[in-house]
Structure 1
Amino acid sequence: MRVKPIEFYIQNLRYTVRSAIEKDAKNLSEVRLQIDGETENLDREKGEAYIDESGFKQIIKDDTESISNLFLVAEVNEKIVGFSRCEGNKLKRTSHKVEFGVCVLKEYWGYSIGKNLLKESVNWADLNGIKKITLNVLEANDKAIMLYKKYGFEVEGVLKQDKILSDGNYYNTILMGRFNG
């Protein structure tokens, strides 16, 4: 599904949150690879589960055609600096929910880009009859957990020793959900 673009101006940075379009595919592939190498808060290390330009073109096409998917990008000066996805499915028993994920280039942390991608995704879900949004977050990502709670997400469970990070330690994954209605 597509949404109307929204402009933000925060701390002298102007950016747009909008639906992903086909011409974003190459930039998305590059940005995702870079972000994976900048943080351990995501599931992948740099280069793992790589999605190339044609892979992103297919994801964008599928998400645009699906009423239960939303693919948003944050753009600064025609360059994508972050993105988020809400992904639903066609199974009747779980058709009321979507899974949310978000990532932002480290250089652009602190400009509320992740927050605004989340906010627009929540608004879209509420307006389109989505009853539940789920997400996974690393237990050490306190800032993200606080943000999710601020937008109505609650902890639903914990996957113990779910990820091993570069320090050699195991970390829990927090499962969170937000209910509408």
Structure 2
Amino acid sequence: MRINEERFELNGKNILLRCARPDEADMLINYLKTVTGETRFLMADADEISYTIEQEKSFINGHNDSDDQLLLLVFVDGEYAGNCSFDSKAVSRRNAHRAGIGIALFQKHTGQGLGRIILNRLIKEVKNAGFEQVELTVVGGNDRAYHLYKSIGFVECGRIPNANKYQDGTYADDILMVMKLTKSN
């Protein structure tokens, strides 16, 4: 799915939201390696990120050419700050009404309101794509993200205990959250 780029100001900084381009594949792989190294709250450790340029280009093109996926990048004063995306959860008609989302920002761009802005924009597109429900997983201990998600309408619907095991032997739960998409959201 492609959307028109949007520009606005936030805290005196110029913000740009737009879809990814295939020529940004290397930038996106490097971003993923960096953000996974900055926090314990993402899908993997930095040394586990091994996507090729071709795989990343395919990921970008797949999202751009799809009717039920979107990859949305955010830039602050021209600097890449992070992204969020949604994908259909459909494997059959029974779950075709569900979409899953993910978001990550470079740590230096967190706590400034960007997450709220890009999530709200993404959820608008999830609704426009006809989904009735959007879902996400937040790692236990990521209190700031958890409270952000709750503040925009997500509710906790379950936990997977010890879903994440870290190299130091500690664990963290996966917290499952869902938002019903209605006309008031």
Give the structure-1-normalised TM-score. 0.92
The correspondence of residues 11-90 of structure 1 with structure 2, limited to 5 A, is 11-88=11-88, 89=90
> Structure 2 stretches of 5 or more lacking a match?
none
Identify the residue that residue 128 of structure 1 maps to in structure 2.
129
Q: Which runs of 4+ in 1 moved over 6 A?
A: none
Whichever residue aligns with residue 52 of structure 1, its letter is T
Identify the residue that residue 153 of structure 2 maps to in structure 1.
152
> Structure 1 stretches of 5 or more lacking a match?
none
Identify the residue that residue 4 of structure 1 maps to in structure 2.
4
SS of structure 2 residue aligned to 1:119: helix
Whole-angstrom distance in 2 between the partners of 1:115 and 1:59: 24
SS of structure 2 residue aligned to 1:176: strand
Is residue 13–residue 111 contact of structure 1 (8 Å, CA) maintained in 2? no
SS of structure 2 residue aligned to 1:54: helix
**Aligned CA distance change for structure 1 residues 166 and 112 (closer, same or farther; 3 Å):** farther
Is residue 27–residue 79 contact of structure 1 (8 Å, CA) maintained in 2? no
Could you tell me how far 1:77 is from its partner in structure 2? 4.6
Identify the residue that residue 137 of structure 1 maps to in structure 2.
138
Could you tell me how far 1:109 is from its partner in structure 2? 1.5
SS of structure 2 residue aligned to 1:47: helix
Identify the residue that residue 172 of structure 1 maps to in structure 2.
173
**Aligned CA distance change for structure 1 residues 159 and 117 (closer, same or farther; 3 Å):** same
Residue-pair matches, total = 181
Could you tell me how far 1:90 is from its partner in structure 2? 5.4
Give the structure-2-normalised TM-score. 0.90
Whole-angstrom distance in 2 between the partners of 1:52 and 1:15: 29
Could you tell me how far 1:19 is from its partner in structure 2? 1.3
Is residue 32–residue 49 contact of structure 2 (8 Å, CA) maintained in 1? no
**Aligned CA distance change for structure 1 residues 90 and 70 (closer, same or farther; 3 Å):** farther
Could you tell me how far 1:164 is from its partner in structure 2? 2.2
**Range with greater deviation from structure 2 (124-133 or 162-171):** 162-171
Is residue 137–residue 174 contact of structure 1 (8 Å, CA) maintained in 2? yes
Pairwise CA RMSD of aligned residues?
1.6
Is residue 13–residue 77 contact of structure 2 (8 Å, CA) maintained in 1? no
Whole-angstrom distance in 1 between the partners of 2:165 and 2:91: 32
SS of structure 1 residue aligned to 2:131: coil
Whichever residue aligns with residue 127 of structure 1, its letter is N
